[in-house]
Amino acid sequence: MYNEIDLDQINTNSEPPSEEPARQYYFMAKCREWVQRFEQKNNRLPTACIRTFGCQMNAKDSEKLMGILEQIGFGISEKEEADLVIYNTCTVRDNANQRVYGRLGYLHALKKKNPHMLIGLCGCMIQEPSAVEKIRKSYGFVDLLFGTHNIFRLAELLYRRAAEKNMVVDIWESTDAIVEDLPALRKYPFKSGVNIMYGCNNFCSYCIVPYVRGRERSREPEEILREIRDLAADGVREVMLLGQNVNSYGKTLAHPISFAQLLKQAEAVEGIRRIRFMTSHPKDLSDELIRVMKESRKICRHLHLPLQSGSSRILKIMNRKYDKEQYLALAKKIRREIPDISLTTDIIVGFPGETEEDFLETMDVVRQVRFDSAFTFIYSKRTGTPAAAMKNQVPEAVVKDRFDRLLKEVQDIATGQCGKDTGTVQEALVEDIDHKQPGMITGRLSNNLMVHFEGPKELVGNIVTVRLKEAKGFYYIGEMI
Ligand code: 5AD
Ligand code: SF4
C-alpha cells in the first residue's frame, strides 16, 4: 500500500521517470507546484469534487482518484461548485449514461461562473467510443476524458491539461498493468473496499462490463493481504473484497490460488473483524467457499448471487452457464449449510425474446429461494453486446408490466424475510448517526441489513451488540445491550 512519500523531495526539473508509480509521484509533485501557485494568487486552495455513479468498483476507484487529489493539495469538497469536478461514470444500463449527459449541462453553467473550473469524466462510459464521440462533439467544455484502465494517471493528465489547454483524452483499450502503491482517500475510516481482481471474462450476452473493464486480472495475494494488514493497522474493521466475479479469483496467477483460500488468509489478519465480498457468479461458486464461509467467524452472512433470469432457456441465451435447476440447487445447498445467511440477487426483466412463460420461471425461482433482497432491472440494450443485435426485443409496455409484478413479489418476500431475526441478539458495525432521528445511530448487521438504535455518535466505527426489537420491512429497530 501507499506509504506517505515526500513529494517535496522529488526533482521536478528533471525528466519524468518512465516507470510506475514513480512517474505519477513526479506528476503529483508537478501538480502540487501548480496548486501552490493557485493558492498564492487566490488566497485559497483549489477544491475538487468527485461524483461516483455505479457500483462498488467505481466507488473504490473514486477513493483512489481522491487520494491522488489530496496528495496534490486540493481541498476535497462534496459540492460541485469546485475548481475540479470529476464524474466517475457507469454504463451498465443506458439510464446511467443519460444521468451523466443530463448533469453535464449543469456543470457547464457552473464553469461559466468559475473560469478556473476543470471538468473531468472517467470510468466505464468513457471506454465506449460512441460516448467519447458524443462528448467531443457536443460537450467541448469538458477538459479531461479518461477510462477505467488508467485512473492512476490522474496527476499526469491534469498536468497535461494545464500545459496543453485543450481537452485531454487518454483512453486505453485494455491493460495488463496493475499499478500498486498509490494513495487512496477512504470515505469511511472503519471500512474499506479492496480490489482483488479487475475485469470480467464471462461475456454474458447483455453485459457491457467485459468491454469496458477488460479481461480478468487477479492481484497477487501478497499485495491484497499487505493492503488488508495496512488497513487494519489504520483502524479498518470491515473489508469488502471486490471483483466482477470473485469466485474465479486467482485462476490466472502464476501460482494459482482459489478465492476460498484467499478468504482464509484474509481471515487471519488481526484487527479485521468482518469480511464481505462482491460479486459471486453462481457458475463458479465452490463447495470449498461454502465450507470456508460456514466455518468463518469473520465472513459476513451475506451472499449476493445474481440470478438474472429463472428461465433455463433465457439463461442459455444470456450465456450464464447455469440453468434454473442448478441455481435452485445451489441456493438450497447454501441455505442448508449456512441457515442464517442472507441471499440477495440481481434480476433482469425483458431480455430479448423473454416470453410470459420465461418470466413466470423467474417468478417461480424468486418464490422458491425467497431472496432477502433483490435488485430488479429492466433490460437495457448496450451497443456492442450480442443481445443488442437480437431481433426480438420485448415491447416496453410488456416489460413494464412484468417489472412491476416482479418488484411487488420481491418486496413482499424481502419484507417477510427481514422479520425473521426479530428478537435475536447480533453484532452491528455502527456506520453513522441516524440523520432522521436525533439520538439514534445506524449499524450494519452481518447479513447486510441496517439496524437503528439509541446510542452516542462516538460509537461510529465500533462493533456493538444489539437486540433486534422490531422489523420495519427492510431494516430493524434495535436496542444496544
Ligand atoms: N440491462 C439491464 N441490466 C443489466 N445488468 C447488467 N447489464 C444489464 C443490461 N444490459 C445488471 C445485471 C448485473 C447488474 C450489475 O446489472 O443484473 O448483475
Ligand atoms: Fe457482466 Fe456477466 Fe461479467 Fe457480471 S459476470 S460483469 S453480468 S459479463
On the question of pLDDT at 44 being above 90, the answer is yes
CB 132 within 8 A of CB 126: yes
Condensed to tens digits (0 to 9), the pLDDT of residues 184-203 reads 899 999 999 999 999 999 99
Question: What is the per-residue pLDDT for 3?
Answer: 59
Query: What rounded mean pLDDT belongs to the chain?
Result: 95
373 within ligand 2 shell (Cβ under 6 A) = no
Question: What is the per-residue pLDDT for 164?
Answer: 87
On the question of pLDDT at 205 being above 70, the answer is yes
Q: What are phi and psi of 349, to 5 degrees?
A: -110, 135
For atom 4 of ligand 2, the residue with the nearest CA is: 244
Ligand 2 geometric centre to CA of 210 (Å): 7
Ligand 2 geometric centre to CA of 207 (Å): 6
Condensed to tens digits (0 to 9), the pLDDT of residues 433-462 reads 999 999 999 999 999 999 999 999 999 999
Question: What is the per-residue pLDDT for 4?
Answer: 66
On the question of pLDDT at 422 being above 90, the answer is yes
In the predicted model, what is the mean pLDDT of residues 60-66?
Answer: 95
Ligand 1 geometric centre to CA of 66 (Å): 27
pTM above 0.95, yes or no: no
| pLDDT classification of 100: cutoffs 50, 70, 90 | very high
Ligand 2 geometric centre to CA of 383 (Å): 15
- Tell me which of 8-12, 165-169, 461-465 is least confident: 8-12
On the question of pLDDT at 181 being above 80, the answer is no
CB 246 within 8 A of CB 233: no
Question: What is the per-residue pLDDT for 116?
Answer: 85
CA distance 190 to 318: 38
DSSP class of residue 391?
S
Question: What is the per-residue pLDDT for 175?
Answer: 78
Question: Measured in whole angstroms, how far is the alpha carbon of residue 285 from the centre of its chain?
Answer: 20
* Closest by Cα among 317, 330, 235, 329 to 280: 330
Ligand 2 geometric centre to CA of 215 (Å): 11
90 within ligand 1 shell (Cβ under 6 A) = no
* Closest by Cα among 73, 82, 2 to 47: 82
In the predicted model, what is the mean pLDDT of residues 16-28?
Answer: 92
For atom 14 of ligand 1, the residue with the nearest CA is: 346
318 within ligand 2 shell (Cβ under 6 A) = no
- Tell me which of 38-47, 173-182, 230-239, 318-327 is least confident: 173-182
